[in-house]
Amino acid sequence: IGRGAQEAPARVQLLGADGVKVLWERSGERSQITDLRVVGDRIWLAVFADKWNVEGGWLDNGTFVPAHTARMAMAMSPLPDGEIAVGRLYGLAPRSDGDLRVVAADGRARVLPGLRGVRSIAVEDLDGDGYQDLIVGDGWHSNYGADADPRVVVYPGPDYAESRVIAWLEGDYTAEHIAVVGEGVDAWLLVTGSRHVHALQRDELGWADVVVGPIGDGGDAVVWRRDGGWVVTISGDPAVDIPLELAQ
């Protein structure tokens, strides 16, 4: 869906050596997929069910099975033991602050401490203790251009009771997407902001924020291997490849 294609369906496609295969599609009042990730050998997605409510669930053999629905919960991720991390951009009242919740398999929810609305969520065992950690982009504000406070926050598992801010994205108003590259203590984060792409890498003081390059409104960034090094591709016309070791 977009300004020039209001009737386009929400669609999940697989791009492979044999071309493009449509795995699932659905039309509705707001045909917008807000979260999509591969977990093991399964596909998880979050998609608007109507104008305001987002469904998160598994896509199995072409069938979408919602596991949780919440108002403006544009970031959702499955967690161990059937729990779901749910990040709401806004609350129930118009333009009110969103929050971060962990919803148990029985539907009970607990709110984690955070700053206003949540735009993105990633999951990885960053400290190598065997428990999955939550990595969250929060600080969204309805007046995002002036009042947003774009942070990247880590909640260590298994209970997510504590939090640590590892980055503040200067010059951006949100962390649109967080991708974990690698595993465990060797992992680093590719964070797509609203105006810049960031590489968050560990250093002696915790985490260092390296600005990889600028990105246009609604753009995307991916990371891949070339000649043993990392390359970040930032969408655009044309797209730009930036070797990470040369990032400024």
Looking at the DSSP bridge assignments, the partners of residue 154 are: 135, 164
What is the pLDDT averaged over residues 127-132? 93
List all residues 6 or more positions away from 19 whose beta carbon is below 8 Å from its beta carbon.
none
pLDDT of residue 247: 45
The pLDDT value recorded for residue 95 is 87
Instruction: Give the pLDDT band (50/70/90) at residue 67.
Output: very high
Residues 6+ apart with CB under 8 A from 28: 10, 48, 49, 50
Residue 246 has pLDDT above 60, yes or no: no
User: CB pairs under 8 A, 24+ apart, for 199-202?
Assistant: 199/232, 199/244, 199/247, 200/152, 200/166, 200/167
243 — pLDDT class (breaks 50, 70, 90): very high
- The pLDDT tens digits of the residues spanning 130-188 come to 999 999 999 999 998 888 999 999 999 999 999 999 999 999 999 999 999 988 888 99
pLDDT value of position 113: 95
Q: What is the pLDDT of residue 3?
A: 79
Query: For 62-80, what is the mean pLDDT?
Result: 95
Q: List beta partners, residue 211.
A: 198
Residue-wise pLDDT tens digits, 205-235: 889 999 999 999 889 999 999 988 899 999 9
Residues 6 or more apart from 67 whose CB is under 8 A from it? 56, 57, 58, 78, 84
Side-chain-side CA neighbours of 77 within 13 Å: the count stands at 25
The rounded radius of gyration (Å) of the Cα atoms in the chain is 18
Is residue 191's pLDDT more than 50?
yes
DSSP state of 90: B
| pLDDT given for residue 97 in this prediction | 93
**Greater model confidence, 228 or 115:** 115
pLDDT at 7: 85
Give strand ranges (E) for 40-99. Answer: 42-48, 53-60, 63-71, 75-78, 84-87
Q: Quick check: 245 pLDDT over 80?
A: no
* Cα separations in angstroms, 127 against 78, 134, 156: 19, 11, 8
Give the separation between CA 111 and CA 133, rounded to whole angstroms.
Answer: 16
Q: What is the pLDDT of residue 6?
A: 81
Mean pLDDT across the chain: 93
User: How large is the average pLDDT for residues 20-48?
Assistant: 94
Mean pLDDT, residues 111-137: 95
Q: Assign 248 a pLDDT band (cuts: 50, 70, 90).
A: very low
